[in-house]
Amino acid sequence: MERLQKILAEAGFGSRRKVEELIKKGIVTVNGEVAELGQKADSKKDDIRVLGKAVSINEKVYYLLNKPEGFLCTVKDPYNRAKVIDLVPKEPRVFPVGRLDADTTGALLLTNDGDLSNQLLHPRYHVKKTYLVKVAGKIKPEDYRRLEIGIQLEDGITLPAKANYIKSGRDWTVISLTISEGRKRQVKRMLKALGYPVLTLHRQKFGPLDLGKLQLGQYRSLSKDEVRLLKESARD
């Protein structure tokens, strides 16, 4: 017997937080009765349904996607806009781990492994993410140090980051920035706080996963070793 939230998350209905919302809405049933939060069930014996459709547990899959600009990190959109799940196989159902803004490109993990997703997003594990950031203006040497010490934002000071100069033009700079938090629009807010509006943002690495030669809009399945390393990064 397992908690219903875990079963639904593993079936690809989203994170545990999202499936809790489905249960609260009363659209989940177990053996014909409306389910309750915290309820346990047997995925092999019980008749579990969402909106009347039977739930089946799929083999866990893990995709690394090089997200293009304009795609939303969601599984459902009322305006029928382009979504990242449109770029990977429809079955088994997967969901994005975390979010990248519509105008942000780069490394995005999609999976039906709800447990791993929760671990990767949990603030206690500090999974590293590396971004290539193009900003307006020339970044001052002392501001690299400020990024590495921590930037005071409205929701608290950021953890130390790693910032490296890549290249620059007359009125712009490209840097590599590695952070170990997952605050909303964190990179953009960090640079804005220093007076450098972000022009483009691309995530090159997510934990141990590197895009390598993967082109925008392309995805690949993770190897067993990569899945193992990913799980280890969510425990360290």
| 91 contacts 12 by C-beta, under 8 angstroms | no
Residue 141, Cβ density class (10 Å: 0-12 exposed, 13-18 middle, ≥19 buried): exposed
Closest listed residue to residue 133, CA positions, set 174, 169, 161: 174
Could you say which of 101, 143, 171, 236 is catalytic?
A: 101
What pairs with residue 64 in β-bridges?
A: 109, 220
Tokens of 158: 């950021």
Catalytic site residue 77? no
| 123 contacts 131 by C-beta, under 8 angstroms | no
Check residue 124 and report its DSSP letter: T
What pairs with residue 168 in β-bridges?
A: 173
Helix (H, G, I), strand (E, B) or coil at 203: strand
What residues are annotated to the active site? Answer: 101
